C-alpha cells in the first residue's frame, strides 16, 4: 500500500502554540502583568491592513493588550522615529511591530534600528539578528521561527540533512538558513542569481522556498520523499493559471468563483505530490507567523522583567 505525502498542518500547529501562549498570558495576568503589543500601520495598504487586523484580533483572543497606530502615508521618518521612541519608553508596551512595507520616502532601516531590541518582536533589529547568528536565545523573526516549530512539532529532524533555502531576504530566507544551521542541517542558500537552481533543489532533503513566484518549484526540481516548506503567498487572479496549476480542483475553482482570486505558494502542486511531507498554501507556514508573534510578545514581556521564559525561546534559535 503506498502512503501519500504528509500534510504539515500549520493551522493545527499554530493553534497548539497559541494555546500554550494563552497559558503563559494567564500566568502573567495572575502576577498583574498584561503583555502589550503596539502595531504601527502607515497609510492604506489593503494586504497590510488584513495582516494587522488579524494580529490585533489574535492578541484579543489570547488576552494580550494591543494598540494600533495608524499614521498617514505622508508621515516623515523623523515623525515615525518619535512615535517609536514614545513606544520604547512606555512600560505597558512589550512589543513594537512596524508593519512593512513602509512608504518609499520613509527610512525603513533607521526605523527598525530605532526599536528597542528587547521590544523588537519581529526580530529585525541587527542586535537580535546577531544574537540569532551566534545561537543565543532571543527575539527571532516570526516566519522562520514558525518554520522551525512546524518541523519540530512534526518530528522532522534536520540534523545532518541537506537543507536548501531558496530566497535570501532578511525577513525569511536568511534567518531560516541560520536557524537550520543552528540545528545542524547542512545548509545551502539560493537566490535569483544562482546558476542551475535545480541542481541544488534536487539534492535537498528539506527544501524551504520563499521567493514569491507562484508554482515556480516543479516536481522535476525536487527529490522524491523530501520535506517541502512553502513560504510563498501569491494571489492569482487569472482563471487559466488557476486551472493550469490545479486542474479539476473543485475547491480552488469555487474559491476563485467567489473571490476572483486564489492564494498559491511557490511550489507547483506536482512537487507536493512526490514529497514526503509538505506545508500547504494556505494553511501552512502563514498560519504560524501570527502565533510566533504572540509568542515573541509574551517572551518580550518576560525578558524585560527578568522573568524565566518558556521552552519556545530555545526553539526560536533553531
Known catalytic membership, residue 122: yes
Contact 184, 234 (CB under 8 A): no
- Indicate whether 286 belongs to the interface with ligand NDP (CB under 6 A): yes
Which stretch of DSSP H or E encloses residue 134?
Answer: none
Q: Which of 6, 26, 53, 191 binds ligand NDP (CB under 6 A)?
A: 191
Q: Is 314 left (phi over 0), alpha (psi -120 to 50) or beta?
A: alpha
Among residues 55, 161, 223, 302, the one annotated as catalytic is 55
State which residue, 181 or 190, has the beta carbon closest to ligand NDP.
190
Q: Which residues on adjacent β-strands are paired with residue 36? A: 65
Per rule CB under 6 A, count of chain residues that contact ligand NDP: 25
- Give the whole-angstrom CA distance, residue 169 versus residue 157: 24
Kindly give, in sequence order, each residue whose CB lies less than 8 Å from that of residue 162, ignoring residues fewer than 6 positions away. Answer: 185, 186, 188, 203, 204, 205, 206
Q: Minimal CA–CA distance to 182: which of 190, 174, 171, 194?
A: 174
Known catalytic membership, residue 119: no
- Give the whole-angstrom CA distance, residue 224 versus residue 232: 21
The residue behind cell 542541517 is 185
- Indicate whether 305 belongs to the interface with ligand NDP (CB under 6 A): no
Window 195-224: residues binding ligand NDP (CB under 6 A):
197, 210-213
Q: Which of 5, 36, 123, 173 binds ligand NDP (CB under 6 A)?
A: 173
Cell triple for 286: 502563514
Known catalytic membership, residue 9: no
State which residue, 193 or 257, has the beta carbon closest to ligand NDP.
193
- Indicate whether 166 belongs to the interface with ligand NDP (CB under 6 A): yes
Window 11-70: residues binding ligand NDP (CB under 6 A):
none
Catalytic residues: 55, 99, 122
For ligand NDP, the binding residues (CB under 6 A) are 143, 166-169, 171-173, 190-194, 197, 210-213, 231-234, 285-286, 289
Amino acid at each position: 500500500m503506498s502512503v501519500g505525502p504528509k500534510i504539515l498542518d500549520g493551522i493545527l500547529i499554530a493553534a497548539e502554540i497559541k494555546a500554550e501562549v494563552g497559558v503563559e498570558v494567564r500566568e502573567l495576568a495572575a502576577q498583574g502583568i498584561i503583555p502589550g503589543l503596539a502595531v504601527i500601520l502607515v497609510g492604506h495598504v489593503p494586504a497590510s491592513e488584513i495582516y494587522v487586523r488579524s494580529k490585533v484580533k489574535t492578541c484579543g483572543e489570547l488576552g494580550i493588550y494591543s494598540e494600533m497606530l495608524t499614521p498617514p502615508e505622508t508621515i516623515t521618518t523623523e515623525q515615525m522615529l518619535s512615535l517609536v521612541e514614545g513606544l520604547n519608553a512606555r512600560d505597558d508596551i512589550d512589543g513594537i511591530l512596524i508593519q512593512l512595507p513602509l512608504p518609499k520616502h520613509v527610512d525603513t532601516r533607521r526605523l527598525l534600528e530605532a526599536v528597542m531590541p528587547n521590544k523588537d518582536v519581529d526580530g529585525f533589529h541587527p542586535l537580535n539578528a546577531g544574537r540569532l547568528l551566534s545561537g543565543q536565545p532571543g527575539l527571532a523573526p516570526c516566519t522562520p521561527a514558525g518554520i522551525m516549530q512546524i518541523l519540530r512539532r512534526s518530528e522532522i529532524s534536520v540534523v545532518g540533512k541537506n537543507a536548501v533555502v531558496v530566497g535570501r531576504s532578511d525577513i525569511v530566507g536568511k534567518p531560516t538558513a541560520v536557524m537550520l544551521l543552528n540545528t545542524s542541517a547542512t545548509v545551502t542558500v539560493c537566490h535569483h542569481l544562482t546558476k542551475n537552481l535545480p541542481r541544488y533543489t534536487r539534492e535537498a532533503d528539506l527544501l524551504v522556498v520563499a521567493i514569491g513566484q507562484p508554482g515556480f518549484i516543479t516536481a522535476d526540481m525536487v527529490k522524491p520523499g523530501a520535506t517541502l516548506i512553502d513560504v510563498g503567498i501569491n494571489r492569482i487572479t487569472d482563471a487559466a493559471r488557476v486551472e493550469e496549476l490545479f486542474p479539476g480542483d473543485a475547491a480552488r475553482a469555487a474559491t476563485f468563483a467567489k473571490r476572483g482570486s486564489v492564494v498559491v505558494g511557490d511550489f507547483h502542486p506536482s512537487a507536493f505530490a512526490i514529497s514526503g511531507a509538505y506545508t500547504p498554501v494556505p494553511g501552512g507556514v502563514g498560519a504560524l507567523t501570527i502565533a510566533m508573534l504572540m509568542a515573541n510578545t509574551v517572551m518580550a514581556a518576560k525578558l524585560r522583567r527578568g522573568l524565566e521564559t518558556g521552552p519556545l525561546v530555545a526553539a526560536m534559535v533553531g
